[in-house]
Structure 1
């Protein structure tokens, strides 16, 4: 469990600098330069991510079960993760209506993804992993919205074409992940389909 926690601290800590220490980030970028700062940020993030994956895998070998969610929660989680994938896709497709309306759909997608997994899983490792991502995404979204208001940020109006691309891309990637990649990479088949 310590490996998972260390990974979460490194990964989410690196991704929280703008939330808790935006002035420190600005000074560091000015002192180090943008590329070295991004390189350090990427290095810490990759190390954190590797530790999360490794730590979660270790924790799953001897799970500490806190509760057993009802089977219906799997169906709720499947629907919520579909929404999450569409939101994440909308965060990466320029000039779409979802991004124009929500501002930071990728962070909202992370919140929905984490919440869905908390509903469908009841081990201590799940609560640590998905709970940490949920709390981080809530705080990060608040911080991003505050920065938008302070800067007077207005997101470009979305086009029908780009909105459709975001929605279709989210659905396609969700289907690939739900029906194949989740089982292949994580060892859990959300719909009981073997890898």
Structure 2
């Protein structure tokens, strides 16, 4: 029982740290004291620490098996995680007025928006894909609750952000910007800068594969 209580307590802490700091009045106060970059750095570090604590807490909960790993799970997870790393590398730090994680959003060009034309919230798409793949890989109750909730969080988040941006930007301006990015969807030869980003995504993927058994204790290639 204590394992479930620990798990529930850390989950409550997770939602508190991911809802309170981004409320407009609270966020404005924090940004005023920390600066925009300081807030982003502190919030990212806090999120990673709480996520690590949450994964640890799931491991402390009683083991209740819901399904066993199937032969196709591992290949699907490896391919899916490579896609997640490439999306992350292509989008992180790029101007993106639609979602969080953007940088220099005033410089956003809807006629040359890259991956933003296909997904307005690429970081949340990465989180959703990561969570779904880990639900597949971990068929016990605690980890299904963990990764399933994170996946739901990533699914609902874009709708909340879109509603807020639509209100703040004005419905007409928001829809015009969305429409312009959608019209730019086309297959293009990646620029040298994007090739570097994708290469970094591949390196990140290899690092994760190498470190997974060291940090998490579970090999991904066996």
With the shorter chain as reference, the TM-score category is 0.7 to 0.9
Indicate the residue corresponding to 1:4 in structure 2: 7
Change (3 A) 1:188 1:46: closer
* TM-score when normalising by structure 2: 0.68
Q: TM-score, normalised by structure 1?
A: 0.76
Could you tell me which residue of structure 2 aligns to residue 117 of structure 1?
134
Q: What do the CA deviations read for 1:98-139 (whole angstroms, capped 9, x no partner)?
A: 235322211101101111111222011210211111010001
- Taking a change above 3 Å as real, the CA distance of residues 3 and 44 of structure 1, as seen in their structure-2 partners, is farther
Question: Could you say which structure has the higher helix fraction?
Answer: 1
Count residues in correspondence.
Answer: 184
1:163 corresponds to which residue? Answer: 194
Matches of 2:45 and 2:144, distance apart in 1: 26
Question: CA distance change for structure 1 residues 171 and 5 in 2, over 3 Å: closer, same or farther?
Answer: farther
Map of 2:106 onto structure 1: none
Q: Which moved more, 1:134-143 or 1:46-55?
A: 46-55
**For 2:123 and 2:30, how far apart are their aligned partners in 1?**
28
RMSD: 3.2
Give the 3-state SS of the residue equivalent to 1:69 in structure 2. Answer: coil
Q: Is the 8 A contact 1:91 1:104 kept in 2?
A: no
| Contiguous gaps of at least 5 residues in structure 1 | none
**Structure 2 alignment gaps of length 5 or more:** 96-112
| Structure number with bigger Rg | 2
- Indicate if the aligned counterparts of 1:182 and 1:188 stay in contact, CA closer than 8 A: yes
Instruction: Output one character per residue of 1:59-90: Cα deviation in whole Å (capped at 9) or x when no partner.
Output: 3xx52211113121111111111111122222
Summarize the Cα distance change of 1:10–1:42 in structure 2 as closer, same or farther, 3 Å threshold. Answer: farther
Equivalent positions of 1:19-34 (< 5 A) are 25-29=23-27, 34=32
